[in-house]
Each structure stands twice: as structure tokens, then as C-alpha cells.
């Protein structure tokens, strides 16, 4: 019996020893610290010898700097994203440009030379390196236009860069400690610190703190190893003065109306068109248009017109458009020489005529033209600023399909941004509706104010509406349609009508319009010979509703499209708004 029990006891003891050893091993692994050194190139994702880690404002970027001929460079995209969106590349003429308030920097790719206004300058390095489709800009050159503090460290190469100089929180080490790749004892060791060394606190956790070392390692250290937390003032770099875009701000609300002039003869109607109006202090005749892909403009401008307007106490902000269907706006805007030619012509006309301002009305710009349009606005703002004339820009109500117009850039460099608060439904719409419902107007203002200061915003109201004509389709027309298209049982057409003409249409057909609270307009409809007609009126009631909305936002003024389509009473309503 004893012989059988002894082996069982021995086996039990062996099992207990194995279990205990396993438990102790697990316990040891759980509470001991990894001694593995981090592969720093892998940790920082360095894949070539010419790369350097970028640590910008205490964040490790995915982008890397490149060491080319002993100087560090960043891609143009990295510069625009993280440093300064104002740098612009002309890929047609191989130029890099940077527009400032009153002058512009220009340099050719792969050159050491550049100009700022009339001044020619030279560096001892290539400013812009072109490698295939990629452009690299020297960080040393960026420092001439932005306050940048940069410190360089090795093994691996890394650049600690600051463009923000806020106070920081620092702590001291109370004992030697390892900085690890993750907030765990098992994290690999990035570097080791001595007792008393100072680090910057980035993020505090329950047991571990994310820190930045004095030599630009970002990692984790145990909370029990740090003491003496305190705020520390960062000395800012102030080598580059802040750019100040001086803008023209009138000491009154703008009341601009567009005067559609399609010929020299139309200029002669100005006094007649102004009869019965009140409170207009700015008029914008549609005089200039781009006529070819070189940026040539046509003009029907008149000095006599300007003199008459000035005699009535009105400023003249002449409009330029891109409505010529033969013109490729992208082609014009993407060449520096063509933009310059366009601006030169406009400024020559401004000088000859004594214009008070320029009004830019570039519509239906393709998305890919966005950066070029922004650069055009920067450049023409310089020309206008030097002459002391107003730069105003017409904009759609903000929507996802017109983000590329760069309202934020416009809001910085232009004097006034005009919201075209109409064409909610337009000539080619597939359904009838209001030209400018109150909700549409309100959204336009509020979304524009997210990017543009209120004092620069002018909201434009329509003096027109549309008569919508819905003609039922024949069975043959329906049968001939593509089954994959949206089924609409009628053909839709519309006619643009002025205020009085729209009212007359309803009156002649025995319709008394009714107030529609949702759109903030009077609405009328009727059926004649099987055809349905609808109108959302623009009248004194709808304009008053729009102005009541505008009063909430302290805007720079009001505009209207277009002179001659209004009822006389509208000017009383607008004049009252101007006195607020």
C-alpha cells in the first residue's frame, strides 16, 4: 500500500512545483521591465538615409524631411498643410510664389535666386528642389516668412520644430528611468534618462505619462519617476513680423446694386435707372469680361458713367466676369503670367476711370482651379491695396461643391465678400421652387460667417423671381425616356421676372398670392390649358423678411441683383436697414 502512495505523492509534488514555477514565471514577466532597445528607425518609420524625423509642436508627423546637399527640405504639401498655406506652385511656368500684403516673393524651381517685389536676392542653397512631380522647399527659406524654431538631433536624424510658443508643463526625474515606446513595462526602450533631468509633459495617464525629452524623443515614463511639475514659459521666435492685411472698411453699411450693362449704350441709361431709387451708395456695372485663354479682357467701361455716379455720392466697383463659354478659367488662372496680365488690365482701367473698387464674379469654377483662384485673389488684393481701391468678391451660398472658392483666404485678403443669396432654384433646376427662401438665406449667412468676419460680409438679395411652367409630358415622351433616369411627369421651364412683372402675371390670371411661412415669401399658382404655373414672389414682404434675418449678424451691408427689377418701395425698406 505504501509503495503505491509514495509515487502518487511524488507526482503530486512535481505537478505542484511545475505549477508554481509557471505561476512565478508569469508573475515575473508581468512585473519585470523589458530591457529590449527599440529599433529607432523602425519606430520613427525611417526608410532611407536622407530622411529626418519631423517633430512639429510636440507631435511626430508621418511626413519626413529630406537632407539634400546638406540642407533640410519639406514637400510643398507638408509646407502648405503644417506651416504656411500661402506658398503656391505654378507648375506650368515652374515658379514658387508667396503673396504678402503689398508684395510677392517669386523664385524659379531649382534656383538660388528669388525676388521680393523689385528686390533681387540670392541664397547659398537651392530654394525649391524639383524631383519628378514632387517639389521640396528648403526649411531655411521658410524661416524667412514664418517664425520657426528648429533644433536638429542625430541617431536617428530628427528635427524638433516649433511654430507655436505656448507655455508648457515640465517635470524632473527623481530616479534613473527608461523612456519607452508604449505605456507599459514591456515597451521597448527609446532612451534612458538620469535623475534630475527635465522633460516636457504631453499627456498624463493613470500610471504612465507621455513626455518629450530635451533631445526630442517622445515616449512614456512611469508616473512614480517624475516630480516637481511646473509651468515653464517658452521664449518665442519673433524674427518675422506678423503679416497685416490692411483692408478698406467703410464707416457705413454698403448698399450695392449691380447694374447689368451689355453695351456702351446701356451706360447712358444710368440716370434713368436710378430714378426713384434711394440709399444706393455703391454701384457695380458689369463692364469687364475675360475673352480668351490669355486673360485678355473686354470692356464697355465709361468715364462719364463714373463721373455721374460720383456726382450722386456713389462709389463704382466695376465687375469682371468669366462668363464667356470659350474661355477656360483653369487655363487662365493656373498661369502666373496670365493672372498678372489680367490684373494689369484691370488696374489700368481702374486708374483711367477713377474706379473705387473691383468686383470679382467668377462663377462655375471647376474644383481643380481652387488653389489658382485663391492665388489670383491674393495677387489682385496686392494691386488693389497699393491703389487704395476696394476688392470685393461674389460668392455662392456655401455648399460642398464650392468649398474650393477658398472663402477663408478671401476673408483674410479681400475687403468685402458678397454672398449671392439667390439661385436656390435656377433655370436648369429639375423642380420648381423659391429663388431665395429664408432658410437658404440664413444658412448662406451663417456658413459664410464661419470663415469671414461679419464686417466684411455683404448679403445680396434678388430683385427677381421665376415663373415656373410645368407642362405634362405626353405618353410618347414618357415612353422615350431612359428607364434608369428619375421619373418626372412634366417638362419644367422657367422665366426670370422682375417684381412688378411677377405680380402682374398672377393678377392677370386671377390669383391672389398667399404667404408661405416656410419660404418667407408670397406664393401663387394656377393651371391654364393643363399647364401648371407657380411663383414664389420677391416683393416688399420677402425683402423685409430677409433684412430682418440680416439684422442679427451685424453684416457689412446689402447688395441686390439687379437694378431695374425692383419695386420702388424696396428702397424704403433697404434705406431703413442702412440707418441701423
Bigger pLDDT: 571 or 477?
571
Domain end point (choices 176, 201, 232): 232
Q: What is the pTM of this model?
A: 0.92
Q: 518: which residues sit within 8 A by CB, 6+ positions away?
A: 437, 439
Q: Evaluate whether 189 touches 180 at the Cβ level (below 8 Å).
A: yes
Tell me the CATH number at 303: 3.20.20.80
Nearest-angstrom CA–CA distance, 221 and 467: 71
- The whole-number pLDDT of residue 477 equals 82
- The whole-number pLDDT of residue 4 equals 59
Average pLDDT over residues 292-320: 98
Please count the structural domains in the chain: 3
> Looking at the structure, do residues 346 and 453 belong to the same domain, yes or no?
yes
Q: Evaluate whether 57 touches 164 at the Cβ level (below 8 Å).
A: yes
- Tell me the pLDDT band of 12, cut-offs 50, 70 and 90: low
- The whole-number pLDDT of residue 29 equals 46
Average pLDDT over residues 242-262: 97
Write the pLDDT tens digit of every residue in 42-99: 999 999 999 999 999 999 999 999 999 999 999 999 999 999 999 999 999 999 999 9
How, if at all, do strands 557-561 and 254-259 pair? parallel
CA-based nearest residue to 319, from 349, 352, 289: 289
Average pLDDT over residues 217-222: 97
Query: What beta strand segments (E) does 9-94 contain?
Result: 51-56, 59-68, 71-75, 87-90
Q: Is residue 384 part of a domain?
A: yes
C-alpha distances out from residue 433 to 13, 423, 424, 539, Å:
89, 10, 8, 16
> Looking at the structure, do residues 182 and 94 belong to the same domain, yes or no?
no
Burial 57-81 (b: 16+ CB within 10 A, else e): ebebbebbbbbeeebbbbbbebbbe
> Looking at the structure, do residues 144 and 264 belong to the same domain, yes or no?
no
> Dihedrals φ, ψ of 65, to 5°?
-80, 160
Tell me the CATH number at 218: 2.30.30.40
Mean pLDDT (the chain) is: 95
> Looking at the structure, do residues 180 and 61 belong to the same domain, yes or no?
no
Q: 546: which residues sit within 8 A by CB, 6+ positions away?
A: 421, 436, 438, 441, 459, 461, 520
Nearest-angstrom CA–CA distance, 141 and 126: 9
- Tell me the pLDDT band of 27, cut-offs 50, 70 and 90: very low
> Looking at the structure, do residues 334 and 396 belong to the same domain, yes or no?
yes
Nearest-angstrom CA–CA distance, 344 and 356: 16
Q: 248: which residues sit within 8 A by CB, 6+ positions away?
A: 388, 389, 390, 415
Q: Is residue 393 part of a domain?
A: yes
Share of the chain above pLDDT 70, in %: 95
Average pLDDT over residues 414-423: 98
How, if at all, do strands 357-361 and 390-396 pair? parallel
Full residue range of the structural domain in which residue 67 is found: 43-150
> Looking at the structure, do residues 91 and 169 belong to the same domain, yes or no?
no
Q: 92: which residues sit within 8 A by CB, 6+ positions away?
A: 334, 335, 336
- Tell me the pLDDT band of 478, cut-offs 50, 70 and 90: confident
23 has a pLDDT exceeding 70: no
> Looking at the structure, do residues 176 and 312 belong to the same domain, yes or no?
no
DSSP state of 65: E
Q: 311: which residues sit within 8 A by CB, 6+ positions away?
A: none
Please name the helix (run of DSSP H) or strand (run of DSSP E) that holds residue 305, with its range, or none: helix 303-311
Q: Is residue 564 part of a domain?
A: yes
Count Cβ atoms within 10 A of the Cβ of residue 93 and give its class: 0-12 exposed, 13-18 middle, 19 or more buried: middle
**Cell numbers for 70:** 546638406
Write the pLDDT tens digit of every residue in 353-378: 999 999 999 999 999 999 999 999 99
Q: Is residue 143 part of a domain?
A: yes
Q: Is residue 546 part of a domain?
A: yes
> Looking at the structure, do residues 374 and 433 belong to the same domain, yes or no?
yes
54 C-beta neighbours (distance < 10 Å), count: 22
25 has a pLDDT exceeding 50: no
Burial 138-160 (b: 16+ CB within 10 A, else e): bbbbbebbbbbbbeebeeebbbb
Q: Is residue 213 part of a domain?
A: yes
Domain end point (choices 119, 150, 181): 150
CA-based nearest residue to 465, from 428, 509, 438, 427: 427
24 has a pLDDT exceeding 90: no
Q: Is residue 508 part of a domain?
A: no
22 has a pLDDT exceeding 90: no
> Looking at the structure, do residues 360 and 398 belong to the same domain, yes or no?
yes
CA-based nearest residue to 543, from 468, 454, 465: 465
> Looking at the structure, do residues 281 and 356 belong to the same domain, yes or no?
yes
551 has a pLDDT exceeding 50: yes
Nearest-angstrom CA–CA distance, 515 and 18: 89
Q: Is residue 313 part of a domain?
A: yes
> Looking at the structure, do residues 342 and 213 belong to the same domain, yes or no?
no
> Looking at the structure, do residues 359 and 320 belong to the same domain, yes or no?
yes
- Tell me the pLDDT band of 479, cut-offs 50, 70 and 90: confident
- The whole-number pLDDT of residue 476 equals 85
Tell me the CATH number at 110: 3.30.457.10
- The whole-number pLDDT of residue 54 equals 98
Amino acid at each position: 500500500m505504501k509503495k503505491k502512495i509514495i509515487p502518487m505523492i511524488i507526482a503530486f509534488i512535481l505537478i505542484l512545483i511545475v505549477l508554481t514555477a509557471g505561476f512565478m514565471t508569469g508573475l515575473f514577466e508581468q512585473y519585470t521591465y523589458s530591457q529590449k532597445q527599440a529599433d529607432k528607425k523602425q519606430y520613427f518609420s525611417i526608410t532611407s538615409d536622407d530622411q529626418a524625423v519631423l517633430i512639429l509642436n510636440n507631435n511626430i508627423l508621418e511626413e519626413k524631411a529630406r537632407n539634400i546637399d546638406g540642407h533640410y527640405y519639406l514637400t510643398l504639401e507638408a509646407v502648405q498643410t503644417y506651416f504656411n498655406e500661402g506658398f503656391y506652385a505654378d507648375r506650368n511656368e515652374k515658379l514658387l510664389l508667396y503673396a504678402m500684403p503689398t508684395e510677392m516673393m517669386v523664385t524659379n524651381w531649382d534656383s538660388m535666386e528669388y525676388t521680393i517685389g523689385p528686390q533681387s536676392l540670392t541664397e547659398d542653397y537651392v530654394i525649391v528642389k524639383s524631383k519628378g512631380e514632387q517639389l521640396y522647399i528648403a526649411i531655411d527659406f521658410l524661416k524667412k516668412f514664418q517664425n520657426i524654431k528648429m533644433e536638429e538631433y542625430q541617431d536617428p536624424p530628427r528635427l524638433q520644430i516649433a511654430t507655436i510658443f505656448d507655455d508648457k508643463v515640465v517635470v524632473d526625474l527623481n530616479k534613473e528611468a527608461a523612456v519607452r515606446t508604449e505605456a507599459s513595462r514591456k515597451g521597448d526602450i527609446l532612451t534612458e534618462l538620469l535623475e534630475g533631468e527635465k522633460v516636457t509633459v504631453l499627456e498624463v495617464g493613470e500610471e504612465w505619462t507621455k513626455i518629450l525629452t530635451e533631445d526630442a524623443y517622445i515616449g512614456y515614463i512611469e508616473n512614480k519617476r517624475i516630480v516637481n511639475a511646473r509651468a515653464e514659459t517658452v521664449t518665442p521666435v519673433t524674427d518675422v513680423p506678423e503679416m497685416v492685411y490692411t483692408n478698406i472698411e467703410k464707416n457705413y453699411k454698403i448698399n450695392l446694386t449691380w447694374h447689368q450693362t451689355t453695351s456702351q449704350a446701356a451706360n447712358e441709361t444710368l440716370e434713368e435707372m436710378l430714378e426713384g431709387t434711394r440709399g444706393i451708395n455703391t454701384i457695380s456695372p458689369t463692364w469687364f469680361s475675360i475673352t480668351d485663354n490669355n486673360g485678355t479682357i473686354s470692356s464697355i467701361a465709361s468715364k462719364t458713367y463714373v463721373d455721374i455716379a460720383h456726382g450722386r455720392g456713389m462709389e463704382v466697383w466695376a465687375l469682371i466676369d468669366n462668363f464667356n463659354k470659350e474661355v477656360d478659367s483653369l487655363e487662365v488662372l493656373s498661369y502666373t503670367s496670365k493672372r498678372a496680365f489680367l490684373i494689369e488690365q484691370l488696374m489700368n482701367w481702374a486708374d483711367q476711370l477713377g474706379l473705387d473698387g473691383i468686383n470679382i464674379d467668377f462663377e462655375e469654377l471647376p474644383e481643380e482651379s481652387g488653389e489658382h483662384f485663391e492665388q489670383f485673389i491674393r495677387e489682385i488684393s496686392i494691386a488693389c491695396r497699393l491703389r487704395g481701391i476696394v476688392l470685393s468678391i461674389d460668392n455662392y451660398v456655401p455648399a460642398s461643391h464650392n468649398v474650393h472658392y477658398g472663402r477663408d483666404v478671401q476673408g483674410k485678403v479681400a475687403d468685402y465678400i458678397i454672398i449671392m443669396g439667390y439661385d436656390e432654384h435656377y433655370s436648369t433646376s429639375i423642380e420648381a421652387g423659391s429663388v431665395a427662401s429664408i432658410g437658404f438665406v440664413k444658412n448662406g449667412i451663417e456658413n459664410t460667417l464661419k470663415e469671414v468676419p461679419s464686417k466684411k460680409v455683404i448679403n445680396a438679395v434678388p430683385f427677381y423671381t421665376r415663373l415656373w411652367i410645368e407642362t405634362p409630358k405626353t405618353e410618347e415622351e414618357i415612353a422615350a425616356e431612359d428607364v434608369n433616369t428619375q421619373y418626372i411627369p412634366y417638362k419644367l421651364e422657367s422665366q426670370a421676372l422682375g417684381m412688378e412683372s411677377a405680380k402682374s402675371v398672377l393678377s392677370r390670371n386671377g390669383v391672389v398670392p398667399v404667404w408661405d411661412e416656410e419660404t418667407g415669401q408670397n406664393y401663387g399658382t394656377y393651371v391654364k390649358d393643363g399647364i401648371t404655373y407657380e411663383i414664389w414672389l420677391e416683393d416688399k414682404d420677402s425683402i423685409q423678411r430677409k433684412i430682418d434675418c440680416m439684422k442679427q449678424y451685424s453684416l457689412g451691408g446689402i447688395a441686390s441683383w439687379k437694378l431695374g427689377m425692383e419695386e420702388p418701395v424696396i428702397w424704403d425698406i433697404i434705406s431703413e436697414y442702412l440707418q441701423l
